[in-house]
């Protein structure tokens, strides 16, 4: 399940033998993540409510060819808004996703950056050379 909330993306995934157990588990995960997101927003902006504002989900464009896909072919394309944000906000977004990395536009430089979880622990950032 993916929830788009005030520019943040909250994602949860669960697999069990029972469909209803999976739905319940996802609902619990999303609820915890939304609560955590709301608390963080209130900590950063104590005078503002943390009411989620839902945005349009990313649009997916199917690959043009119906040919057999080889590993070197792009088979899926995603487009999504990328408003500028701080590295700290990008790390927050990474925390809510079920991914190892998060691509964002750095508000300090205007450049596209990637934050990622390091295998050794902690986080890393990839920035373009200047």
> CA-to-CA distance for 8 and 52, rounded, in angstroms?
9
Tens place of pLDDT for every residue, the chain, 130 residues? 777 766 667 777 878 888 878 788 878 888 887 777 777 777 766 555 444 444 455 555 555 444 555 568 888 888 888 889 999 989 988 888 778 899 999 999 999 999 999 989 999 999 999 8
91: left (phi over 0), alpha (psi -120 to 50) or beta: alpha
In this prediction, residue 98 carries a pLDDT of: 74
What is this structure's pTM? Answer: 0.53
Find the distance separating the first CA and the last CA of the chain, reported in whole Å: 38
């Amino acid at each position: 399940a993916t929830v788009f909330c005030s520019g943040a993306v909250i994602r949860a995934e669960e697999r069990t033998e029972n469909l209803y157990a999976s739905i319940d588990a996802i609902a619990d995960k999303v609820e915890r993540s939304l609560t955590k997101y709301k608390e963080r927003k209130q900590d950063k902006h104590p005078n503002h409510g943390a009411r989620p504002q839902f945005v349009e989900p990313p649009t997916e464009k199917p690959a043009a060819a119906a040919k057999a896909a080889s590993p070197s072919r792009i088979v899926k394309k995603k487009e999504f808004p990328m408003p500028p944000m701080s590295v700290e906000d990008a790390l927050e977004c990474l925390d809510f996703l079920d991914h190892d990395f998060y691509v964002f536009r750095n508000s300090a430089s205007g450049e596209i950056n990637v934050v990622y979880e390091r295998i050794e622990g902690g986080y890393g950032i990839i920035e373009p050379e200047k």
